[in-house]
């Protein structure tokens, strides 16, 4: 797994657009006016759709969605965990340094549509937008795919960020800055994983999987999102992630128990323990050297015949 090159538009264009919008909105002072325009226009779609989109940006949901790739795509799994930590630091540090009031503290309830929790403080930036951008960035930048598929993932991430405006809890600048942090997290995670080549068929992977299983299990009962309408979808998603995650962890246990002998081929090459690839290359080199020595008489005979033919031709 290699991160997409910085020269690719998929790497630099999304954060460049977000940064340009941040500058334009900040310079023009259109943050509040744009919020009202978007918030009022979102009624056409309906609250239920925005509720479910905003659920996808929840931190616990994003962590649970990592479970299906713990065995088959360990590189993406660790890159996503690093991205989650970077995105969390990006949002929490900024929130501590910049206490921007929420729309409910600026406008009265009748001036805009409030469908989410009644938050009033630490609006900047949006953690949901950061989580959505980090998760989408991991798949867009870390997996080769068709442009249409990548555009669809990027579109979902943008819609998740937009949903925070539609439910009335974040400003446009909050969303854009959060998405910048999430994209940065995806880049950091992929770059670090490409350098370290971590695998999950070990105690570290097992522990990380157990923690994420606990997070997914908490989604069966937790109401921290504050939107009762998403509870059925939240529980369904948690159940799917738990079952899938349990299957993947079971595969990891079996993979660890049946570790291939030196020189054998691992059923999941990405999960080969450290040093296994080196041992396999050494065994292959040794076999080639043995074969080359066995063929030495034939090589000498061929060279002798070639020399005699050349002398006869001259």
Mean pLDDT of each 10-residue bin along the chain, 314 residues long: 70 95 97 97 91 97 95 93 96 93 93 93 96 96 87 96 96 98 96 88 90 97 95 97 95 76 50 44 53 62 58 44
Residue with tokens 């991205």: 83
Q: Which residues of 185-217 are buried (b: 16+ CB within 10 A; e: fewer)?
A: bbbbbbebbeeeebbbbeeebbebbeebbebbb
Q: How far apart are CA 221 and CA 217, in angstroms?
A: 8
Using only the alpha carbons of the chain, give its radius of gyration. 27
The pLDDT of residue 291: 61
Where helices occur in 42-99 by DSSP H, the ranges are: 47-56, 59-64, 74-97
Per-residue model confidence (pLDDT) at position 278:
44
- Is the Cβ–Cβ distance between 202 and 256 less than 8 Å? yes
Contact criterion met (CB below 8 Å) for 103 and 169: yes
- DSSP at 201: S
Dist CA 290 CA 145 (whole Å): 42
> ω into residue 125 within 30 of 0, thus cis?
yes
CA 240/CA 259 separation, integer angstroms = 28
The tokens for 64 are 């649970």
In this structure, the number of other CB atoms found within 10 A of the CB of residue 270 comes to 18
- Report the distance separating Cα 293 and Cα 91, nearest Å: 63
pLDDT of residue 272: 47
**pLDDT on residue 255:** 78
Residues 125, 164: contact at Cβ < 8 Å?
Answer: no
Residue that is written with structure tokens 């080359």 in the block: 292
Burial annotation 221-247 (CB, 10 A radius, 16+ → b, else e)? eeeebebeebbeebeebbeebbebbee
Contact 29, 136 (CB under 8 A): no
pLDDT for 138 equals 95
CA distances, 138 to each of 2, 163, 187 (Å): 11, 21, 8
The span from the CA of 69 to the CA of 181, in Å, is: 23
CA 248, 251, 256: angle at the middle one, nearest 5? 130
Q: Tokens at residue 4, please? A: 């997409």
pLDDT for res 107: 95
Instruction: Give CA separation, 144 vs 1, 10, 16, 71, in Å.
Output: 9, 11, 21, 19
């Amino acid at each position: 797994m290699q991160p997409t090159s910085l020269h690719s538009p998929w790497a630099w264009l999304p954060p460049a657009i977000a940064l340009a919008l941040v500058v334009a909105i900040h310079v023009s002072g259109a943050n509040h006016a744009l919020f009202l325009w978007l918030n009022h226009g979102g009624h056409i779609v309906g609250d239920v759709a925005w509720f479910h989109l905003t659920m996808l940006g929840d931190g616990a949901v994003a962590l649970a969605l990592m479970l299906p790739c713990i065995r088959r795509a360990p590189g993406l799994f660790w890159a996503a965990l690093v991205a989650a930590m970077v995105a969390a630091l990006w949002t929490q540090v900024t929130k501590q340094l910049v206490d921007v009031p929420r729309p409910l503290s600026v406008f009265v309830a009748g001036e805009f549509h409030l469908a989410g929790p009644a938050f009033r403080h630490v609006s900047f930036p949006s953690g949901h937008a950061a989580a959505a951008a980090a998760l989408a960035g991991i798949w867009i930048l870390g997996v080769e795919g068709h442009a249409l598929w990548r555009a669809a993932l990027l579109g979902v991430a943008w819609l998740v960020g937009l949903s925070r405006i539609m439910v009335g809890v974040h400003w446009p600048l909050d969303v854009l800055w959060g998405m910048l942090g999430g994209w940065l997290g995806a880049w950091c995670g992929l770059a670090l994983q490409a350098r370290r080549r971590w695998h999950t068929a070990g105690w570290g992977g097992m522990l990380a999987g157990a923690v994420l299983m606990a997070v997914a299990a908490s989604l069966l009962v937790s109401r921290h999102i504050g939107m009762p309408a998403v509870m059925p979808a939240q529980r369904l998603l948690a159940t799917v992630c738990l079952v899938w995650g349990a299957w993947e962890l079971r595969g990891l246990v079996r993979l660890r128990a049946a570790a291939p002998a030196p020189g054998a081929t691992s059923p999941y090459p990405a999960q080969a323990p450290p040093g296994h690839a080196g041992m396999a290359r050494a065994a292959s080199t040794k076999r080639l050297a043995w074969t080359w020595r066995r063929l030495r008489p034939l090589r000498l005979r061929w060279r002798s015949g070639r020399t005699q033919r050349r002398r006869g031709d001259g």
